[in-house]
Structure 1
Amino acid sequence: MASTLPKTMRGQFLELYKKPYSLRHVPLPKPTTPHDILIKVDAASYCHTDFVLAEGQMPGLPKKFPHIGSHEFAGTVISHFDSPSSKASDFKEGDRVGVPGRAFHACGDCFECQGSNDPVAQDERGYSVHCIHAENNGLSRDGGFAEYAVVDARQLAPIPDALTAAETAPLMCAGITIYAALKRCKLQMGERVGIMGAGGGLGHLGLQYAVKMGYKALGIDASDGPLKLARSLETGARLVDARIEKAADVVQQLGVEDGKKTTGDMGLDAVIILPESQAAFDYGMALLKTHGKCVIVSFPEKGFHISARDVVFRDISIIGSLVGSNKMLREMLNFSAEHNIRAVAKSFSLSRLNDLVEDYHKGGGGKLVIDMALPE
């Protein structure tokens, strides 16, 4: 198959911060280490982090211009390095694979790669998504907004037959990120979890996962488009417009439903913070029971102000969550296929990436995807 490959490919390049993408031809990339696999990109999803990167809000990234974005994509295996590793050999030409951004060329030797006690992030010894030396497709190195890409076999997850490439791509960051955040909540069946930003790319997937995991889900948003999208899912989750309902009133309502008489025992067992606004963080914290858990996924440039009273007097635990292990990535994909969980997505051809970005700024919620199968 390698002998029939073209010598060049099209890619969408970020030339400078705060500039539109530029479509041009470049030489085809090649595998250079035993773990490397060349894939034909079939779909690539746009993430909020792509916007943050393009705005210059991630110091030191990308490492160089021009740069190909997208750290959540899916494709088909085309070729391997001349002497592939055992992990690379697990994937055959023609296999369909999902590609997350982390972790390209994990070192295998750092304290993360040598073993983590974190069940959400732990993989077998020798590889970690949190490797301190690894690169990231679409962030520190080129990603999926191109016709071909070189990926690390240890990153990859086989795509279940029930999922298309366009359905898989958004799950490679949005899906695994919110799935891992739910796992970090450590909830029991029937307990309550809130998702701040429930109509966004991660949030609307989180609502679906939470309900299928057996939790009582509360979705909170403060924009018409995302709320409309969240309602369209018909998950059975309760949805709250934060512009209209006060957090204290929602807590009282949940207390009545649960038959609770003490204020500290009313509300959510856990909340996941997806928006970057302080108002969303404060609202989510106010929804928590005493001893509740706040899982932070977003990383606003100026951070969040955290009340010491919440942490000390209410015993609120605050933890961060990035992504899950390769093992959890595969679990998430199979869970999505089994329970028919899909991102609500709008697709564009590769040449229309700048149109996609323009659509992103309209704030309609859901995900936006480059689908290579679409006509230009």
Structure 2
Amino acid sequence: MRAAVAEGVNAPLSLIERDVPDPGAGEVLVKVTACGVCYSDLNLLQGKYAFARFPVIPGHEVTGVVTAVGDGVTFPEVGTTVGAQFLYDSCGHCNYCVRGEQILCPRKRITGVVTDGGYAEYAVFKAGFVTPLPSGLDPVQAAPLMCAGITAYNGLRHAGATPNSRVAVIGAGGIGTLAIRYAVAMGARVAVVGRSRRGEDAAKAMGAELYVSTDESPAAETLKTWDGGADVILNAAPSSTAAAETLGGLAPDGTLILCGYSAYPLSLPVQPMVLNRLRVMASPSGSPHDLRDTLAFSAQHQILPAITAITLDEAPETLDAMAAGRARGGRGVITFA
């Protein structure tokens, strides 16, 4: 099989031939249909994950078809179309795992970072950590839902987004665009925060009622005039500063949730937080049950991301464009014939 391998930090991807792996006990072999190219893959190559293990095949936004199963596997069956996510597996016995919150397991392993992922024609995954795709979801377009989708949907749920709540989304990239569409489908009122007016028409087309350009006015001040402020602010931008500067736009009892961040420390004004009972939290993707919910909601409301289909050979070029801020045309998704 063909695969792209990350040999180390700041090293180019190597396109190689490798034997198709065999699934072990409790594992499934998946013939990969598609794999999204995520900014986390770029973080891996840039050395931002101290726990990474090289060499490794990147990719954690994977869809494909189960072609073989290891000992003890009765589900999913051969022939099932599945998705594999950021979370590869967990210990299975800690307090978080037994509650179904495997994403919080201290011994969790991350797909495409410490174990081989989807930049390959075939990949092996743990049977309990792949999720069958609902009917109606195209497996190529659905690939980014395995990370960007679950991060946005789960973030909104944990932050308390409800029908008629006011939800502001900072940034309208991969996660942000899905967060806007999910929030609208949940029945929330939505505002979008961007640097310029360039994204206003697209945001309004997705159902946003308010667009805030930070080039024209501070986001916090504008959001505060939106019937008293946002109940939820979801930061999808790769900037901790942008999140902190928007905190003042929360209504009392509001929540700022970080789905995007940068290396800079998060500096927050304590007194307004105390006086208004504000909360700040983060959302690290999700557990298998969260992915199942994300895919079901996406299928029900036909929420799929805009993508650009690419070949495995084009993956290095796509990552270079992302690093240089030149990525355009929707999330890059590697497809395999």
SS of the aligned residue for 2:32 comes to strand
Q: Distance in 1 between matches of 2:329 and 2:192?
A: 13
- Which residue in 2 is equivalent to 1:92? 77
Shift in Å, 1:27: 1.8
Q: Distance in 1 between matches of 2:61 and 2:150?
A: 10
Matched, 1:25 2:17: yes
Greater displacement, 43-52 / 302-311: 302-311
Q: Distance in 2 between matches of 1:278 and 1:135?
A: 25
Q: Distance in 2 between matches of 1:273 and 1:286?
A: 14
- CA RMSD of superposed structures (Å): 2.0
Verify the 8 A CA contact 2:86 2:285 in the aligned structure 1: no
Q: Distance in 2 between matches of 1:130 and 1:331?
A: 18
Shift in Å, 1:317: 0.8
Query: Deviations 1:42-63 (Å, cap 9, x if unpaired)?
Result: 00001111111110011131x1
Matched, 1:177 2:151: yes
Verify the 8 A CA contact 1:155 1:326 in the aligned structure 2: yes
- Tell me the matched-pair count: 335
Q: Distance in 2 between matches of 1:273 and 1:306?
A: 14
Shift in Å, 1:284: 2.2
TM-score, length-scaled by structure 1: 0.83
2:272 to 286, 290, 310: 310
Matched, 1:280 2:239: no
Structure 1 residues 356 and 18 mapped into 2: Cα distance closer, same or farther (>3 Å)? same
Shift in Å, 1:177: 0.6
- Which residue in 1 is equivalent to 2:192? 219
Query: Deviations 1:170-195 (Å, cap 9, x if unpaired)?
Result: 00000001100000121331010111
Larger CA Rg, structure 1 vs 2:
1
Query: Deviations 1:270-301 (Å, cap 9, x if unpaired)?
Result: 11122232431133212111221111123422
- Which residue in 2 is equivalent to 1:3? none
> 1:372 is aligned with what amino acid?
F
Q: Distance in 1 between matches of 2:217 and 2:180?
A: 19
TM-score, length-scaled by structure 2: 0.93
> 2:335 is aligned with what amino acid?
D
- Which residue in 2 is equivalent to 1:119? none
Shift in Å, 1:244: 2.0
Matched, 1:247 2:219: yes
Q: Distance in 2 between matches of 1:228 and 1:358?
A: 27
- 4+ residue runs of structure 1 moved beyond 3 angstroms? 228-234, 363-366
- Which residue in 2 is equivalent to 1:77? 66
SS of the aligned residue for 1:112 comes to helix
SS of the aligned residue for 1:319 comes to strand
Matched, 1:50 2:14: no
Q: Distance in 2 between matches of 1:346 and 1:204?
A: 15
Matched, 1:10 2:7: no
Greater displacement, 342-351 / 13-22: 13-22
Matched, 1:200 2:190: no
Where in structure 2 are there 5+ consecutive unaligned residues? none
SS of the aligned residue for 1:162 comes to coil
Matched, 1:167 2:174: no
Shift in Å, 1:232: 7.7
Q: Distance in 2 between matches of 1:236 and 1:302?
A: 29
Q: Distance in 1 between matches of 2:197 and 2:37?
A: 21
Matches within 5 A, 1:60-75: 60-61=51-52, 63-65=53-55, 67-75=56-64
Where in structure 1 are there 5+ consecutive unaligned residues? 1-8, 116-121, 256-265
- Which residue in 2 is equivalent to 1:262? none
